[in-house]
Amino acid sequence: MSRIVTVGIAQMGPIARSESRQDVVARLLALMQDAARMGCDLVVYTEAALTAFFPHWLITDEEELDSYFERAMPNPAVQPLFDAAARLGIGFHLGYAELDFSTGRKRRFNTSILVGKDGGIIGKYRKVHLPGYVEPRPGEPFQNLEKRYFEVGDLGFPVWHAFGGRVGMMVCNDRRWPEAYRVMGLQGVELVVLGYNTPVHNPAMPQTDDLGNFHNQLVMQAGAYQNGTFVAGVAKAGVEEGVDQIGQSCVIAPSGELMVQCTTLGDELQVARCDLDLCTSYKTSIFNFEKHRRPEHYGLIVERTGAGDVLGR
Ligand code: CDT
């Protein structure tokens, strides 16, 4: 028996600062319609897919900053996506900047949601690993102000029963951290979906500029293989407001092999048929955590007592 989930990766080209939500949603809808025509069960959009990636510049006016955030999901501007999903019978993953008032104070998160084929929200994730810094760095060609604009996500790395399997989300920089995959791997994840805005140039580490695409694939291939899961990673690519971003959106199999990859730096859809049962062979053999993983021997000190160190399990 096989459990096939047909996944469309919907890479986006640059979004201009001046582009309206309606214009962006029209681009996302075109990709969704293509995905439905190609038989996709799920279309994966990128990180902060509704606007230009605003952490790349300093915004001091609160109202202007708020204009990049969504106060509710869905909302009138994105409702057409939810309606189309239900009409076409296709799920989607969407990254967006979230303004949250549920605790009585304004909080900002770099968020993503998973939406089912009925147009209903299945789950929400808030980015944990925020790169960059709080204070702007004058003289740099662009900023990386995620630590200024977002709080660290407070929802952990859950895994949802969805699309006939177990699906988890991460956002951009999370994909560089093995813990993110492993926490989901321990919950039996079979498909990780994520979006990214990754500049070609890293002002803090320019010596790695030639390695951006390599590192992008390296981390997702390792995460997929070591946890026996598919990974679908989707870029916002091309030169956006002067910032050149990598593309190479792709789907990785649990073997660590590349299944499909985008070849442009613009709006582009690629499709991969993911047989979730392939995960099982990895999860029950080489990466059978129950049988072979030995955290009690890793030497992780969780407590220092007079009698000696207590190692974590
Ligand atoms: N959006 C995001 O998290 N971007 C970061 C840039 C870090 S600089 C290498 C990323 O990890 O891709």
CATH code of 218's domain? 3.60.110.10
Contact between residue 180 and residue 128 where contact means Cβ atoms under 8 Å apart: yes
| Domains of the chain: total | 1
Going by alpha carbons, the residue nearest to atom 4 of ligand 1 is 198
**Tens digit of each residue's pLDDT (9 = 90 or more) over 90-122:** 999 999 999 999 999 999 999 999 999 999 999
The candidate with the shortest Cα–Cα distance to 153, out of 62, 49, 42, 47, is 47
Please work out whether the CB of residue 197 comes within 6 Å of at least one atom of ligand 1. Answer: yes
Going by alpha carbons, the residue nearest to atom 9 of ligand 1 is 202
**Tens digit of each residue's pLDDT (9 = 90 or more) over 171-211:** 999 999 999 999 999 999 999 999 999 999 999 999 999 99
Please work out whether the CB of residue 196 comes within 6 Å of at least one atom of ligand 1. Answer: yes
The whole-angstrom separation of Cα 187 and Cα 158 is 8
Going by alpha carbons, the residue nearest to atom 1 of ligand 1 is 197
Q: What is the pLDDT of residue 312?
A: 67
Please work out whether the CB of residue 198 comes within 6 Å of at least one atom of ligand 1. Answer: yes
Please work out whether the CB of residue 231 comes within 6 Å of at least one atom of ligand 1. Answer: no
The whole-angstrom separation of Cα 271 and Cα 311 is 45
Looking at residue 14, its amino acid is P
9 band by pLDDT with thresholds 50, 70 and 90 = very high
Percent of the chain scoring above 90 in pLDDT = 93
Encode burial over 257-289: b for 16+ CB neighbours within 10 A, e otherwise. ebbbbbeebebbbbbbebbbebbeebbeeebee
Expressed as residue numbers, the domain containing 297 is 4-312
Q: What is the pLDDT of residue 2?
A: 78
The whole-angstrom separation of Cα 186 and Cα 288 is 10
- From 173, 177, 236, 243, the mutation candidate for ligand 1 (largest count of ligand atoms within 8 A of CB) is 173
Q: What is the pLDDT of residue 308?
A: 82
Say how far residue 242 (Cα) sits from the centre of its chain.
Answer: 23
Measured in angstroms, how far is the CA atom of residue 198 from the centroid of ligand 1? 5
Going by alpha carbons, the residue nearest to atom 10 of ligand 1 is 173
The whole-angstrom separation of Cα 9 and Cα 195 is 10
Measured in angstroms, how far is the CA atom of residue 257 from the centroid of ligand 1? 23
> How is residue 41 written in tokens?
């069960």
From residue 109, give the alpha-carbon distance in Å to each of 74, 127, 186: 16, 7, 25
Check whether 53 has a pLDDT greater than 70: yes
Please work out whether the CB of residue 46 comes within 6 Å of at least one atom of ligand 1. Answer: no
Instruction: Specify the range with the lowest mean pLDDT, choosing from 9-13, 55-59, 105-109, 308-312.
Output: 308-312
- In sign, the C-alpha dihedral spanning 296, 298, 299, 300 is negative
313 band by pLDDT with thresholds 50, 70 and 90 = low
The strand pairing partners of 93, in sequence order, are: 44, 114
For residue 175, give the ligand 1 atom closest to its CA: 11
What is the pLDDT of the chain when averaged over all its residues?
A: 97
Q: Which residues are catalytic?
A: 47, 127, 172
1 band by pLDDT with thresholds 50, 70 and 90 = low
Residue reference for tokens 């207590």: 310
The strand pairing partners of 231, in sequence order, are: 192, 252
Q: What is the largest CA-CA distance in the chain?
A: 66
